[in-house]
């Protein structure tokens, strides 16, 4: 302590453990000089230094725990043949059943990615959500802002509900499940064989997929194989008719695309080659951004932890410089019946009620208290008291009028405006991501 006080009285210099150790060595203590850890412990006991508290890692909203519905992951890995050419292995993985599909290719172009995903949808089925990293072949490139590549357009075109979730940039951990599959392929297949040509890799590849699906038991499945777990899932596979109806020039179709981003020190996030302001207070935290192509809107959400509700941070207009097409009927799935009050992230901020009649979604506009219709996820702007014969009674919810469905009163349709607004206020800041 005398050495430290002497250092304090000097006009220039440091007073930390390293400086004290150097001064003690100058005194000729030799091997009796205390170590840095001893000096730090003594100074800490006297209250002269504080051990920096470990900063807990930021909460990451894993898509597997956030979304409802089938979730697939997509990634690729590569190896080199002896004569130099690369071999790319694309893997798609059902994160709930661990069922996988594989494509061996000589490049990772957009055409190769599309060929792989079409084949994957034939075997694993079309998921509701697909998580992936920010490779240029997936997102469309890094040259111009708001570029929707052919792969993104293909995912939009297939069906209502197939939504892309782009994971944080340069962070492989969030996509760890499919990264493990990449490593398993390298360890159990590539490193155990010698391949003289690309064609031999292609011929041997089905043996790995067969072994993985039929014989391998992932730890998550508690003894089941991926093939056994996959049999318990309802799947809608891609058909040859749907592939034949795909146009050469794919438009941007009504849908949603999600981005999980870590907020930068300046309080911004980047996606699709653009920067968006969030908040400097959230620097280092993860946020969830959603683009609505049909509404031309960007919403940014934040969840402090798994125990907290989602909070809407920002809403921006997101203009798309081309026409957003409605979903073609051959790609639309059968609509569900929703009877009762519903609200959430799937709707715009000006709506608070939704039911579904005769396969058309009917909503109540909060501002004008009039009826509008959604077909899939697109607002048609219809606001009549009688919609295609579906309603016989009045539609003015602000006066508490009961809604009738073909003349019959249905359960859950006796809505009063006060009750509806209360429910909307309770749930307006919650993020609900589920298949449409």
Return mean pLDDT, the chain.
Answer: 77
Q: How far apart are CA 421 and CA 398, in angstroms?
A: 10
- Do 344 and 322 lie in a common domain? no
Q: Are residues 341 and 329 in the same domain?
A: no
Q: What is the DSSP string of 31-65?
A: GGSPPHHHHHHHHHHTTSS-PPPPPPPPP---HHH
Distance of CA 271 to the CA centre of its chain: 13
- Mark whether 325 and 338 lie in a shared domain: no
Is residue 107 located within the same domain as residue 40? no
Structural domain count of the chain: 3
8 A C-beta contact, residue 263 and residue 347: no
The mean-pLDDT minimum among 27-31, 138-142, 170-174, 332-336 falls in 332-336
Say which residues have a Cβ less than 8 Å from residue 312's Cβ, sequence separation at least 6.
Answer: 299, 300, 301, 428, 429, 431
- Name every residue whose Cβ is closer than 8 Å to that of residue 322 and which is 6 or more positions away in sequence: 251, 252
Buried (b) or exposed (e) across 340-356, using 16+ Cβ within 10 A?
Answer: ebbbbbbbbeebbbbbb
- SS3 state at 151: helix
395/302 same-domain check? no
Domain match, 62 and 114 both: yes
Domain termination residue (choose one: 333, 352, 375): 333
Average pLDDT over residues 131-135: 95
Residues of the domain holding 96: 57-333
Task: Find out whether 149 and 141 touch, Cβ atoms under 8 Å.
Answer: yes
Model pTM score: 0.70
Task: Give domain status of residue 278, yes or no.
Answer: yes
The answer on 237 and 148 residing in a single domain is yes
My answer on whether 284 and 213 are in the same domain is yes
Question: pLDDT tens digits for 255-306?
Answer: 899 999 999 999 999 999 999 999 999 999 999 999 999 899 999 999 999 9
Question: Could you tell me the end-to-end alpha-carbon distance of the chain, in angstroms, rounded to an integer?
Answer: 69
110 shares its domain with 215: yes
| Whether residue 277 sits in one domain with residue 379 | no
Q: For residue 326, count other CB atoms closer than 10 A to its CB.
A: 17
For residues 230 and 100, what is the distance between their CA atoms, to the nearest angstrom? 10
**Assigned domain for 167 exists:** yes
Asked if 92 and 120 count as a contact pair (C-beta separation under 8 A), the reply is: yes
Are the beta carbons of 103 and 118 closer than 8 angstroms?
Answer: no
Does 435 fall in a domain? no
SS (H, E, C) 15-30: CCHHHHHHHHHHCCCH
d(CA 60, CA 360): 36
More confident call, 366 vs 293: 293
User: How do residues 29-44 score in pLDDT, each as one tens digit?
Assistant: 888 888 888 988 888 8
């Amino acid at each position: 302590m005398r050495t430290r006080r002497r250092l304090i009285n000097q006009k220039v210099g440091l007073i930390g453990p390293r400086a004290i150790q150097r001064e003690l060595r100058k005194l000729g203590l030799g091997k009796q000089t205390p170590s840095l850890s001893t000096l730090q412990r003594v100074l800490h006991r006297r209250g002269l230094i504080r051990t920096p508290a470990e900063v807990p890692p930021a909460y990451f909203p894993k898509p597997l725990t956030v979304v409802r519905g089938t979730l697939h992951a997509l990634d690729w890995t590569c190896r080199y043949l002896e004569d130099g050419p690369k071999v790319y292995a694309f893997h798609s993985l059902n994160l709930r059943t661990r069922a996988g599909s594989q494509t061996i290719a000589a490049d990772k172009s957009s055409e190769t990615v599309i060929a792989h995903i079409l084949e994957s949808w034939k075997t694993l089925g079309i998921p509701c959500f697909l998580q992936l990293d920010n490779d240029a072949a997936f997102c469309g490139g890094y040259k111009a802002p708001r570029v929707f590549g052919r792969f993104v357009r293909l995912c939009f075109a297939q069906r209502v509900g197939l939504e892309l979730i782009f994971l944080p940039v340069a962070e492989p951990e969030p996509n760890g499940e499919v990264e493990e599959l990449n490593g398993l392929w390298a360890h159990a297949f590539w490193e155990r064989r010698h391949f003289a040509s690309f064609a031999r890799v292609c011929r041997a590849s089905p043996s790995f997929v067969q072994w993985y699906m039929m014989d391998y038991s992932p730890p998550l499945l508690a003894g089941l194989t991926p093939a056994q777990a996959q049999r318990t899932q309802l799947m809608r596979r891609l058909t040859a008719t749907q592939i034949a109806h795909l146009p050469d020039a794919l438009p941007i179709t009504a849908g949603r695309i999600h981005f999980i981003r870590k907020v930068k020190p300046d309080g911004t996030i980047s996606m699709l080659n653009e920067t968006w302001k969030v908040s400097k207070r959230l620097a280092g935290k993860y946020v969830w951004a959603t683009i609505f192509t049909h509404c031309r809107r960007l919403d940014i959400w934040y969840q402090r932890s798994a125990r907290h509700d989602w909070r809407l941070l920002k809403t921006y207009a997101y203009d798309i410089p081309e026409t957003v097409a409605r979903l073609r009927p051959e790609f639309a799935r059968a609509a569900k019946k929703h009877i009762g009050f519903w609200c959430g992230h799937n709707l715009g901020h000006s709506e608070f009620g939704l039911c579904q009649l005769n396969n058309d979604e009917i909503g109540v506009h909060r501002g004008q208290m009039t009826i509008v219709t959604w077909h899939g996820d697109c607002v048609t702007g219809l606001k009549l008291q009688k919609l295609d014969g579906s309603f016989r009674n009045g539609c003015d919810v602000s006066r508490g009028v009961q809604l009738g469905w073909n003349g019959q009163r249905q359960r859950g349709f006796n809505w009063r405006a006060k009750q509806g607004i209360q429910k909307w206020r309770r749930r307006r800041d919650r993020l609900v991501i589920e298949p449409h």
